[in-house]
Chain A
Amino acid sequence: MESQTYTQILAKASNNSIRHRRPLVSLTPLVDVVFILLVFFMLASSFSDQRAVGLMTPAIAESARTSKTVLLRVKRNGSLDLNGEPITVNQLQARAAQFIQTVGERQFLVQPDKGVALQRVVVVLDALYATGVQDISLVRK
């Protein structure tokens, strides 16, 4: 025993510990907990990016209806007409911008027919907001 050098003892000891290595704290419970947390966050969190579109309530629009308002109808088959003139969504931006520039019209009334899905109306609102119109109200017949 005496003849063994310190390094030899160390080497033997480490050899020993490698062969029967047992972690001081087991990793398994930790992993369990982390998995449960992961599942919780995956199920409970949502990634949807919500936004908000401002609108005036309709009855105000009704009373404030003047010659300066533009009426945009959304028909049941999805087609649009702007002050009685048929138009597509792509043309809408240019026409709306024109209205604002020439006549100084500010208020837009969007009037969907019965049975028009909200998504279709929101597409129209998008186009109007993109032109810079601020005052948009929804009205019904």
Chain B
Amino acid sequence: MKLRGVSDRGYKEPSIVPLVNIVFLLLIFFMLLGRITSPEVLDIQPPASASGGQIDTRRDILILISNDGRVALDDNEMEQDLLLSAVTQLLDEEPAMRVRIKADAGLDAVTLIRLMEHLKDAGVKRLLLLTERPEP
């Protein structure tokens, strides 16, 4: 039985081709402009700054320090003492390695300075503080 008005011939499904085009464009946009990063162990929102140089792709030691003072080396959260001895060891093996610190914007600056003092004792002379370019 056929309903009146709904004939096989008259009904046309909307074409999905324009949709596919747009989805392709979005896909290319995200592929080209986004950087794939693995999620970090600590939730950190780095401070915004206008100055500071671009980060190069050199392999550095990355130290994370969160709002509540927890620290992590690369992707492993650990006690500060352990972290410092690990950094000392890494620097012994490869003295040219630089140290990057990614600290939360809301962190007490004195806590960060304390960590930097310990790092100095571990043999770090100059370090990089990661910041983010503010939204325009």
**B27 at the A interface (CB under 8 A):** yes
Which of A34, A41, A42, A139 has the most C-beta atoms of chain B within 10 angstroms of its own C-beta?
A41
Q: Closest residue to A51 on the B side, CB-wise?
A: B52
For A141, the closest partner residue in chain B by CB is B110
Specify the chain B residue showing the minimal Cβ separation from A140.
B113
Whole-angstrom distance from the CB of B77 to the nearest CB of chain A?
Answer: 19
> 1/0 per residue B64-87: CB within 8 Å of A?
000000000000000000000000
Interface check B4, CB cutoff 8 A: no
- Asked if A84 lies at the interface with its beta carbon under 8 angstroms from chain B, I say no
Contact across chains for A116 and B121 when beta carbons are under 8 A apart: no
Residues in chain A near residue B31, CB distance under 8 A: 41, 45
Closest chain A CB from B87 CB (angstroms):
12
Interface size class of A (residues with CB under 8 A): 35 or more
Q: Does B63 reach chain A (CB closer than 8 Å)?
A: no
**Chain A proximity of B27: nearest CB distance (Å):** 5
Q: Are B127 and A119 in contact (CB under 8 A)?
A: no
CB atoms of A117 and B128 under 8 A apart: no
User: Chain B 37-54 against A: per-residue CB contact (8 Å), 1 yes, 0 no?
Assistant: 100000000111111111
Query: Is A94 close to B, CB under 8 A?
Result: no
Bound: A80/B48 CA distance, A: 19
Q: B132 near A: Cβ within 8 Å?
A: yes
A30: B residues at CB distance < 8 A: 20
* Chain B residue at smallest Cβ distance from A42: B30
Cβ of B91 under 8 Å from chain A: no
C-beta contact mask, A47-91 vs B, less than 8 Å → 1, else 0? Answer: 111111111111110000000000000100000000000000000
* Other-chain contact of A119, B16, B23, B48, B54 (Cβ < 8 Å): B48
Most buried by B among A31, A35, A38, A139: A38
Residues of A that sit less than 8 Å from B by CB: 19, 27, 30-31, 34-35, 37-38, 41-42, 44-60, 74, 112-123, 125-126, 129-130, 138-140
